[in-house]
Amino acid sequence: MHEGKIVRLFTGAHTPDGFRSFGGEALRDMERVFIIEGAPGCGQGAIIGLAARSMAERGYDVEVWPGTISADMPAGVVIPRLGAAVIDGTMMQGDEPQYPGVRDEIIDLGEYWNRRQLRRHAAEIRALTDDVAAGLRRIYARMAECDAVRRGRDDAAAAITEGELQNICRALAEEIFGGQHLQVRRFFSGAVGMDGWQSTAQELSAVCRRRWLIYGASADSVAAALEEMQRQAVNRGHNVDLYYSCWRPDKLDMVVLPGISAALVDSSLPDLEPRPDDRLIKLNELPEETLAAEDDWEECWQQQLDAAVAETEAAYQVYERLAGYYRSAIDAERLEGAARALLEELWSMAAEREQE
């Protein structure tokens, strides 16, 4: 049997404004959603990872949502062909299940705790929970400082007028777009975690037959161009996947049009590997008098990024200490039974779909 593809999609990310998630929106068209609730260390990530591997081995393409602190702890998996998803409840960001008991099924891992054991460590658990929250606030503050450096660089860039931007985008739209059935999905292009700033831009855009790299001296000009391109794509009835910046969650980093296998990407994103057939679109340049400061900006930005990553690593260590209390209090046998029941449900859905 041909193994299915596993694609990473960041539906949530830490930002200078706190944690942001497109999780609820990404589940809009699902037929079944399994929402796993539980404290750190209860096994949500292990169950989600098991579901992803199991369905991929069965030949189903899956979309894995990496964790926001560590990509090794998946926060969700979507199986598009089944219209099913298994997610960590924290990715709902306060949204209530939309159709409880009909579409949405809540799996509460708290049912498998040894509550008496947990209460013996109540003071430590409360302190570590507060420490994790404080660590996250420090991450957001560091990211804000990092973004402030980028904004300073943007302010020095030569301005591009709205008319110039419209002309570039209009010509580019004529080159790229046709007409398709409309579907719009939103994700993040990457996230800052304990392994640094990770981006999925390369792996998602590299599979597209055509790719345009958008260069601008300011992040705002690139984001404005991508926003205009997605608007024109939607107006022409295209399916679009929109990828936003974890630094500025209202700004686009990448637009992918799956129906015509095309991508428009901010050329400054990390880990992009240029290819011979890429089209480079230049919007504006840094004035000559500010070019000398480019290395200083880059060094300052990298220092702030390193500080944000260090805060993330520290928060993860505290998180792991907190998770240890819950991990030791969980009934492993009952947890394994819950995971097995979930897999059997997914396999049953797959069997029904394969008979259609």
Average pLDDT over residues 160-164: 68
- What mean pLDDT comes out for the span 3-14? 91
Q: What distance in Å separates the CA atoms of residue 170 and residue 172, rounded to the nearest whole number?
A: 5
Say which residue the tokens 């008319």 belong to. 163
List, for residues 42-87, the tens digit of each pLDDT value: 999 999 999 999 999 999 999 999 988 777 789 999 999 999 999 9
Confidence at 314, pLDDT banded by 50, 70, 90? very high
Across the chain, mean pLDDT equals 86
Residue 147, pLDDT > 80, answer yes
Specify the pTM.
0.84
Nearest Cα to Cα of residue 282 among 205, 222, 228: 222
Instruction: Give whole-number Cα distances, 344 to 42, 61, 347, 349, in Å.
Output: 20, 18, 5, 9
CB half-sphere exposure, 229, CA atoms < 13 A: 36
User: How many Cα atoms within 13 Å fall on the side-chain side of residue 106?
Assistant: 14
User: Tokens at residue 232, please?
Assistant: 């024109």
Residue 317 has pLDDT above 90, yes or no: yes
**Whole-number pLDDT of residue 49:** 94
The confidence band for 128, taking pLDDT boundaries of 50, 70 and 90, is very high
Euclidean distance between the first and the last CA atom of the chain, given in angstroms as a whole number: 18
Cα(275)–Cα(207) distance, rounded to whole angstroms?
12
pLDDT at 117: 93
Per-residue pLDDT of 92-107, as tens digits, reads 655 566 777 778 899 9
Predicted confidence at residue 298, as pLDDT, reads: 79
Which has more confidence, 156 or 217? 217
Q: Residues of the chain with pLDDT > 70: what percent?
A: 88
> Mind listing the pLDDT tens digit for each residue in 233-277?
888 888 899 999 998 899 999 999 998 999 999 998 888 998 999
pLDDT of residue 161: 66
CB-based contacts of 223-227 (< 8 A; 24+ apart in sequence): 223/248, 223/251, 223/252, 223/253, 223/266, 224/165, 225/165, 225/168, 225/169, 225/281, 225/283, 226/252, 226/253, 226/254, 226/255, 226/264, 226/266, 227/251, 227/252
